[in-house]
Amino acid sequence: MSNSLVIARKEFKDILHSGIFLTVLLLLLALTVTSVIVSSFVFKSQVDSYQSSLQILKELGKQPGSPQPELFPLNLLRGVVDYLEIVGAILGILLGNLTIAREKNTQTLKLILTRPVSRKDLLFGKMMGNAVFIGIVLVFVGLFALLSLVFVAGVALTLTEAVKLVLVIAISWIYIMAFISLAAFLSLSMRSLSNALVVAFTIWLVFVLILPQIGDTMDPDNQVPRGFFNSIHFNKEQGKQVLTKFGSYENARNFIEELSVTKHYERTAFALLGIKPEFNGLPVPDILGQKWFDILVVILFFSAGILTNYSVLNKKDILVWD
Amino acid sequence: MNNIITIARHEIQSLFRERTFILLLAVFAAMTLASAYIGWSSQHTINQVYTAAAEQMRQSGKVAPSSPFADYPHLALLKNMIIYVIVIGGLLAISTAYSAGMRERKAGVLKLLFSRPVGKNDFLLGKLLGISFVLAVVMLLAAAISALSSAVLVSLNAQDMIHLFSFYGFSLVYLLGFAFIGFSSALVKEDEVMALLIPIIFWISITFVLPQLTSALYPTGSLNPTLPQTDILQSPILQTMHDAVYPFSISQHYKEAAATILNINAIGPDAQVHSGILNVVTTFCWMLLCLTASFIAVYSFDKSRW
């Protein structure tokens, strides 16, 4: 067995033995079920509301102005993506910090490197162990989402929808791995592990929560509870037409959002799940074709993390850890 | 009493020397400064969007409805601060208290400390006093930044200033709850990462999960300072869920009370206006409950273990 595989197996076992595994897995599964339950009830409430409005219109001899809400099962998973982008990134930071902390605290890095183990083996072994763990967690999340859709919402997925769900899991895996490599890089570079953890959380705070939040609250349509254009009885097309006059403001808002890797992950996942209505019913290659830039940014973020880790690990002074 | 003051003073000095605390404080201060401009810019643009939409309606022979922002209060430009207190302030409070709880453990001086005539009461009160003082300074700094930045953009009167400082005072109460949880967890959990993870799970639950259960808000929707629409709760099941969970949804109580204090909660046609007093009382109860948790943590921890 190659060195990388031995290290990966050890890394995976260490994660399983720590309390974090069960805590985070249970948390993510609970959040998945909660999201699907709430979304299902909201959808049922919308259908009931439509039916009662339809009844009133029929009694008045009028026709409904809008079609009945249509259920797209993957739409019910929007909350799951929100949780993966927030909690998944936290999980990544904790794992990335821990993977280095284990070696720093026990001072085993020097010992490992005195054996015929290259730094590349060490890095890839550690990343592989974490990657397998994240993969398993996400498979559980995907299965729970699937079961919740069947048993709570009472819907089954078509083959295309199942493929889209798998792709969402895949992009989520890359996204979380990117945070693992970021936290590992900080833990390798900084003397204090606690400081590295807090710096990683600060980066998480800025890129996962603050930048998307700024972009979201700058959206003119998000200024009143049911949407500004809705409040003045404008439809989406009319709203878009008005906003064309505010191009520079919208560009600035979009630029702020695009600074965040989380927004790129979210846009890809939302397109695959059909959260934006224009993506509902689109074939998978078309969605991937339209979202290639967002996918590329997430992959680049992950690749940059791996490269920086490798570069830090190759520095000679890494052996003077005490 | 002297011991308490000495421990508190040491805590304050140590926290202000910590680079990670300074980093989070810098992020919080920067966002406080930016929030007034973001609020002003959004408000300014939305007024122009309304004018353009109204003009378009007039050209097509329709009567434009009145602007939903006609009576926009001055302090509405600080509405993002409510979210920044929940998000950045919450994590700053947890990280500050976690550091305070871990410091003696990590340095291995707990046994030494308790070999001196220092009781658990002195230790707890000194630590809590130090943490509370530091967070109070952070809120005071944020209030000063908000007051100055808002005054540059809009004209504020004395009443606005009272509302602004009351908002930050109330925010301190909300943040102390998280600080006390972070401190308790650092004392009782042996594993350092778990000790940080537990208050963060609390924070996630309070910030994202409970609002989803009470108002069917998507997790990222909780980060929008505009209060949620309530017509979705016409569903009996969602209404039941709301009634059962709402009393415990501390972040929503905080958001609503903070919006009332800043005088911005009446924006929008169906904005929820819950009893301000109930929201404030609930937030105080939350802080006191977390304070109790700190007392229990201190009295249950075995000082000889570390």
Give pLDDT, residue A176.
Answer: 96
Other beta carbons within 10 Å of B218: 21
Q: Which of B46, B174, B293 is nearest to A239 (CA)?
A: B46
CB contact residues (below 8 A), chain B span 213-232, against chain A: 213, 216, 218-220, 223-229, 231-232
Question: What's the distance, CA A68 to chain centroid?
Answer: 31
- For residues B134 and B18, the answer to whether their CB atoms sit within 8 Å is no
**Smallest Cα–Cα separation from A241: which of B53, B66, B46?**
B53
- Spell B114-146 as b/e; 16+ CB within 10 A means b: beeebeeebbbbbbbbbbbebbeebbeebbebb
The pLDDT assigned to B268 comes to 40
| Residue A269 pLDDT > 90 | yes
Residue B93 pLDDT: 93
* Whole-number pLDDT of residue B41: 84
Higher pLDDT pick, B156 / B142: B142
**pLDDT greater than 80 at residue B303:** no
Q: What values do phi and psi take at A14, rounded to 5?
A: -60, -40
Contact A86/B at CB under 8 A:
yes
Q: What is the pLDDT of residue A316?
A: 58
Q: Is B97 on the interface with A (CB under 8 A)?
A: no
pLDDT at residue A56 in the model: 81
Average pLDDT, whole number, for chain A?
A: 85
Tally of domains in chain B:
1
Average pLDDT over residues A199-224: 85
Alpha helix (H) ranges present in B154-249?
158-188, 192-204, 210-215, 236-245
| Cα separation, B17 vs A275, whole angstroms | 46
Of A275-284, B64-73, B164-173, the poorest mean pLDDT is in B64-73
Segment A34-54, tens digit of pLDDT:
888 888 888 877 777 777 777
% of residues, chain B, pLDDT over 70: 91
**pLDDT higher at A316 or B147:** B147
Q: Is A238 within 8 Å of B234 when comparing Cβ atoms?
A: no
- Predicted pLDDT of residue A319: 58
Q: Is A26 on the interface with B (CB under 8 A)?
A: no
Question: What mean pLDDT value characterizes chain B?
Answer: 82
A75-84, A238-247, A306-315, B121-130: segment of lowest average pLDDT: A238-247
Smallest CA–CA distance from B48 into chain A, residue: A246
- What pLDDT shows up at residue A117? 78
Instruction: Read off the amino acid at residue B15.
Output: L
**ipTM above 0.95?**
no
Provide the domain limits for residue B103.
Answer: 2-305
In 3D, which of A196, A199, A197 has the Cα closest to residue A207?
A199
Determine the residue type at B212.
Answer: Q
Tally the C-alpha atoms within 13 A of residue A196's C-alpha that lie toward its C-beta. 26
- Report residue A211 as tokens: 């930048």
pLDDT band at B270; cut points 50, 70, 90: very low
* pLDDT tier for residue A321 given thresholds of 50, 70 and 90: low
Of chain A, the percentage scoring pLDDT greater than 70 comes to 95
Poorest-pLDDT segment among A51-60, A173-182, B74-83, B147-156: A51-60
Min mean pLDDT across A60-64, A138-142, A192-196, B134-138 is at: A60-64
- Whether residue B60 lies within 8 A of chain A, CB to CB, comes out as no
Give first-to-last CA distance, chain B, whole Å.
25
The minimum CA-CA distance between B103 and chain A, rounded to whole Å, is 11
Residue A270's pLDDT band, with cuts at 50, 70 and 90, is very high
Q: Which of A103-117, B26-40, B185-199 has the lowest mean pLDDT?
A: A103-117
A73-94 residues labelled b (16+ CB within 10 A) or e (exposed): bbbbbbbbbbbbbbbbbbbbbb
> How far apart are the C-alpha atoms of B10 and B7, rounded to whole Å?
5
8 Å CB contact of A205 and B225: no
Whether A228 and chain B come into contact, CB under 8 Å, resolves to yes
With an 8 Å Cβ cutoff, is A105 touching chain B?
A: no
Instruction: For residue B269, name the pLDDT band (cuts at 50, 70, 90).
Output: very low
| Contact yes or no for A202 and B24 at CB 8 A | yes
Looking at residue B227, what is its pLDDT? 58
